[in-house]
């Protein structure tokens, strides 16, 4: 196995292994590399859906996404399609996945089925680098804060997202928002690093604060978390797999593929409480 860093801050490309045949020992090694680099990239892989699921289960139980679970497909798998003409896409703002849950997923495995010849890249940002670069005064202020996370901006009938993109989400009248509060600074359970844990898709306000009171500081933290020096950019090709640590990174899908399709298969891995 060879490991090549993707940038100075976050990400590593792993070569020399076949993800269809990952031993218990290699699973542990990859878990360590994930904690170290935040996101791992694997090129020239060939995995069908069952093999993709088998790989995910080596790292934990499969997480069922509540809003993409629309009843018309395998609930363990989300196919993320960007079609020509889409005016919105999944993941187009800086986010950490599904953080409105009481126990957000620990990570995700995203596999490229179709990739555009140009565009459709994904950006990743290290949230331990973002924390480390804060002033001591800011760290002290944030240490006791919690933030309320909600899915009201990314699902439900009021957003009408399904009319704007190929990948559909629950918009039925029975949908209700899910909300939970998490520490603004979380501790990674394996590396022990402190990580900034707020994101544009789900973070609403600080616990005990109004949204208006929260907005100036929260907006600043959201922008701070993806300063260029904390990021890497990854270009997809068919057969590429990305495995990101949802506890220590955030990411963004770039909506610039023009007339080309982008089709990805994603499986999320269940996590634990945010501490």
Whether 73 is catalytic is: no
Whether 266 is catalytic is: yes
Task: List, as one string, the DSSP characters of 43-60.
Answer: -S----HHHHHHHHHTTS
Whether 226 is catalytic is: no
CA-based radius of gyration for the chain: 18
- The catalytically annotated residue of 97, 165, 186, 247 is 97
- The catalytically annotated residue of 182, 186, 255, 266 is 266
Contact 97, 105 (CB under 8 A): yes
- The catalytically annotated residue of 37, 226, 251, 255 is 251
Question: Contacts from 182-185 at CB under 8 Å and sequence distance 24+?
Answer: 182/99, 182/104, 182/146, 182/147, 182/149, 182/274, 183/145, 183/146, 183/147, 183/274, 183/275, 184/142, 184/145, 184/146, 184/147, 184/221, 185/131, 185/139, 185/142, 185/143, 185/145
- The catalytically annotated residue of 52, 95, 193, 265 is 95
- HSE, CB side, 13 Å, CA atoms: give it for residue 158: 7
Whether 182 is catalytic is: no
Residues marked active site are found at 95, 97, 251, 266
């Amino acid at each position: 196995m060879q490991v090549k860093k993707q940038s100075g801050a976050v990400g590593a490309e792993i070569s020399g292994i076949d993800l269809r045949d990952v031993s218990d020992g290699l699973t542990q090694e990859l878990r360590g590399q994930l904690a170290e680099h935040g996101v791992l990239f694997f090129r020239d892989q060939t995995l069908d859906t069952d093999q993709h699921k088998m790989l995910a289960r080596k790292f934990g139980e499969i997480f069922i996404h509540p809003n993409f679970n629309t009843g018309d497909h395998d609930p363990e798998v989300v196919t993320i399609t960007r079609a020509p003409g889409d005016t919105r896409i999944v993941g187009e703002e800086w986010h950490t996945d599904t953080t409105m849950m009481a126990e957000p997923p620990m990570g995700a495995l995203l596999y490229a089925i179709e990739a555009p010849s140009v565009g459709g890249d994904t950006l990743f940002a290290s949230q331990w680098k973002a924390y480390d670069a804060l002033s001591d005064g800011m760290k002290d202020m944030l240490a006791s804060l919690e933030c309320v996370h909600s899915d009201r901006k990314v699902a439900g009938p009021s957003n009408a997202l399904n009319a704007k993109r190929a990948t559909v989400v629950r918009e039925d009248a029975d949908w209700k928002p899910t909300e939970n509060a998490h520490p603004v600074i979380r501790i990674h359970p394996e590396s022990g690093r402190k990580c900034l844990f707020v994101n544009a898709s789900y973070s609403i306000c600080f616990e005990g604060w109004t949204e208006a009171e929260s907005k100036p500081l929260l907006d600043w933290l959201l922008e701070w978390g993806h300063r260029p020096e904390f990021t890497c950019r990854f270009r997809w090709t068919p057969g590429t797999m990305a495995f990101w640590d949802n506890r220590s990174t955030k990411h963004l899908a770039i909506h610039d593929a023009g007339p080309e399709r982008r089709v990805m298969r994603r499986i999320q891995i269940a996590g634990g409480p945010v501490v």
